[in-house]
Amino acid sequence: MKLRRVLAAIPTNEAEGQLRVAGVLRYASEHVNWDLRIVNSRTQFNDAGVKTLLEEGIDGCILAAYTPAVENILAGHIPTVITLENIHEQIGARQNCISILMNNQEIGRLAAEHFGSLGRFASYAFVPTSPKIPWSLERKATFFEAADKRAAQFEFPEADIELVNMTGEGGILIKISDLVEFLKQLPKPAAVFAANDILAAQVAKACRAAQLKMPTDVSLIGCDNDELLCTISRPAITSIRPNFEQAGYAAARALDAMMRGRRPNETVMRIPGAKVIVRGSTEHIPPAVAVVNAAMEYIKSHALEGISTADVVSHLKISHSLLDLRFRQLRNESVMDAILSIRLAAVKERVEKTDRKFIAIGVECGFRSADHLKRLFRKRFGMSMRAWRLKNRSRRASAS
């Protein structure tokens, strides 16, 4: 039997590539006797190297790296298995070429389910790659689909992300100032899923810059389980580990079948078996945070009904002093401060957008005393309700 020459261009500078190679080697040792050439560095996998390999003769390829000379491999109808999402998108459907990729729907669902197991979040957010890369979109879609529907959903704008290298080199850049602003605006506590660990590390950096605590203010999950990136952060970052070794094994098995003349039934295979590797960025929400979250949920639903701190205490069946203590520890305000903030925001909106009398607005928003409302409004917004209305009317007039 002819000894088949197989090229495996799989960079091993990260654990992902090392696991893919381990899967390829496991299949080869169990089932075949290949003349296996492993090119484990992107710098070594270049046009000149590919030309030399083609001259020597190649019977099959497993590709997790790209160079333009790959087109010569494909043009020669050499059986080829692609094992990296970005290269799959770059090459597209070709004859004698299939892709063994990760199950992105499973990854997005796992992220949402892990957050759901931790407790109640006020918001779920996704940090994508850019431009609209399908694997990122797939993870986002199932993440939001499986997320707690009671929480608000947010996505960091793709336009603010720069993807430096489409071959998977890991050059995804975000302005930290943009990410800080995005994170600050999320209702807390926030559950943030980053499309991969490179992005998750930048989210963690932005949390530190914004003085947001993980996991109390922001719980964070990445993907790929890059142990260096995940463990160097403080706290360490929880990540989803796709089944990279099984992907390498499946790639070798598919290539073996193709070289024997058997065409696969599908051109894209998705490998299940991802697992959440739990670290400090998603510890369980402390009981104090859970109490404050439950209180804020009740306050948001009933603040305009004229509720008091006593009503919140009665609803939660907790002592007044303990609830107020938790609010001051975690929100730096009292329970009544939180109630008044929601009421005043509602008053401000009605003052800006309607011509209703101020007394009527106050009653609608839970204020029993018009004088008390006047004092609070001036203290919060720096001017009277009448002045606020006139200011915003003139601003709208000039804008139109």
What is the C-alpha separation between 182 and 154, in angstroms, rounded?
9
72 and 14 fall within a common domain: yes
Q: Is residue 198 situated within a structural domain?
A: yes
- 163 belongs to a structural domain: yes
**Residue 8: which residues within 8 A CB-CB, separation 6 or more?**
21, 24, 36, 37, 38, 39, 61, 62
Instruction: Answer yes or no: do 119 and 213 share one domain.
Output: yes
CA–CA separation, 231 and 141 (whole Å): 27
Instruction: Report how many domains make up the chain.
Output: 3
Query: Does a structural domain hold residue 282?
Result: no
Distance, in Å, from the CA atom of 160 to the CA atom of 169, rounded to the nearest integer, reads 19
Name the token pair of 10: 């799989």
Q: What pLDDT digit, counting tens, does each position of 357-391 carry?
A: 999 999 999 998 999 999 999 999 999 999 999 88
Tell whether 254 and 236 lie within a shared domain.
Answer: no
- The verdict on 294 and 210 lying in the same domain is no
Do 92 and 113 have their domain in common?
no
Residue 281 lies in a domain: no
Work out the widest C-alpha separation in the chain, in whole angstroms: 96
Asked if residue 118 belongs to a domain, the reply is yes
Say yes or no: 68 and 119 in one domain: no
Statement to judge: residues 305 and 266 lie in one domain: no
Closest by CA position to 187, among listed 382, 376, 348, 338: 338
DSSP per residue, 86-130: HHHHHH-S-TTEEEEEE-HHHHHHHHHHHHHHH---SEEEEE--S
H/E run at residue 194: strand 190-194
Instruction: For residue 280, tell me if it sits in a domain.
Output: no
**Residues 253 and 316 reside in one and the same domain:** no
Please, what is the angle between helix 244-259 and helix 15-31, to 10°?
Answer: 40
Rg (CA), the chain: 28
pLDDT of 288: 78
Asked, for residue 276, whether it belongs to a domain, the answer is no
Secondary structure letter of residue 237 according to DSSP: P
Residue 279 falls within a domain, yes or no?
no
Domain that holds residue 311: 287-399
Element (H, E) at 271: strand 268-271
Same domain, 92 and 79: yes
Provide the pLDDT for residue 82: 92
Question: Does 192 share its domain with 233?
Answer: yes
Q: Does one domain contain both 189 and 214?
A: yes
CATH number, residue 233: 3.40.50.2300
pLDDT tens for the 400 residues of the chain, in order: 678 999 999 988 888 899 999 999 999 999 988 999 888 887 888 888 888 888 888 999 999 888 888 888 888 889 999 998 888 877 777 778 999 999 999 999 999 999 998 888 889 999 998 767 889 999 999 999 999 998 999 999 876 666 555 444 445 678 888 999 999 999 988 999 999 999 999 999 999 999 999 998 999 999 999 998 999 999 999 999 999 999 999 999 999 999 988 877 788 999 999 999 999 999 876 777 778 888 998 999 999 999 999 999 999 988 898 898 888 877 889 999 999 999 999 999 999 889 999 999 999 999 989 999 999 999 999 999 999 998 887 766 665 5
φ/ψ bin of 119: left (φ > 0), alpha (ψ from -120 to 50), beta (otherwise): left
Locate 30 and state its tokens: 């169990």
Residue type at position 333 = E
Give yes or no: residues 309 and 364 share one domain: yes
